[in-house]
């Protein structure tokens, strides 16, 4: 395995460990990482289309729609007509409470996840990750 592959694998392994810890911790408040992330996206972007929310949560349109239906069935989200054909999503009071509980959990997971890095290292990591993969991916390299 070459160094670029090793680096890519290290990034993926860190993401996997982080997501696993977050999902396990979120189960204590009755949600999952994808559900919490959808609640976060809906709350943070009122009026966005389901397509935009899917992109914000790194899901396909179909996966986000399925998840949104599950959140609606749980009484955490409501849908309403938006501008044109757009359907808007909003949190219910129960959804807002779940988001807030999830935020507290995620804050603890993130603090632990990055506790081995000082503030300068965190800023450097953030800056480096913001530069990775930027560019035109519409053509084959």
Instruction: Enumerate the domain spans of the chain.
Output: 30-115
Q: What is the pLDDT of residue 139?
A: 64
- Other Cβ atoms less than 10 A from the Cβ of 21: the count is 16
1 confidence band (pLDDT: 50, 70, 90)? confident
Residue 40 corresponds to which tokens in the numbers above? 């976060």
Number of residues in the chain: 141
Distance between CA 36 and CA 29 in Å, rounded?
Answer: 10
Give kind and range of the element (H or E) at residue 68: helix 61-73
CA distances 71 to 18, 34, 60, 113, Å, are: 23, 11, 16, 27
Range with the poorest average pLDDT among 38-47, 58-67, 70-79, 125-134: 125-134
Question: Which range, 42-56, 89-103, 125-139, has the best average confidence (pLDDT)?
Answer: 89-103
If you search the block for the tokens 């989200």, which residue do you land on? 77
Q: pLDDT tens-digit profile of 13-45?
A: 999 999 999 999 999 999 999 999 999 999 999
CATH class of 30-115: mainly alpha
- Residue 116 pLDDT greater than 80, yes or no: yes
pLDDT of res. 21 = 96
Stated pTM of the model: 0.87
């Amino acid at each position: 395995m070459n160094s670029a592959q090793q680096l890519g694998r290290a990034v993926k392994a860190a993401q996997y460990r982080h997501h696993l810890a977050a999902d396990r911790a979120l189960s204590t408040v009755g949600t999952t990482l994808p559900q919490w992330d959808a609640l976060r996206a809906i709350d943070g972007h009122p009026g966005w289309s389901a397509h935009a929310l899917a992109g914000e949560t790194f899901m396909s349109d179909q996966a986000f729609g399925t998840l949104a239906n599950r959140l609606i069935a749980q009484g955490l989200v409501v849908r309403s007509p938006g501008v044109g054909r757009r359907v808007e999503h909003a949190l219910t009071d129960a959804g807002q409470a779940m988001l807030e509980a999830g935020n507290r959990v995620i804050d603890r997971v993130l603090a632990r996840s990055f506790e081995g890095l000082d503030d300068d290292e965190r800023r450097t990591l953030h800056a480096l990750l913001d530069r990775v993969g930027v560019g035109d991916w519409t053509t084959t390299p």
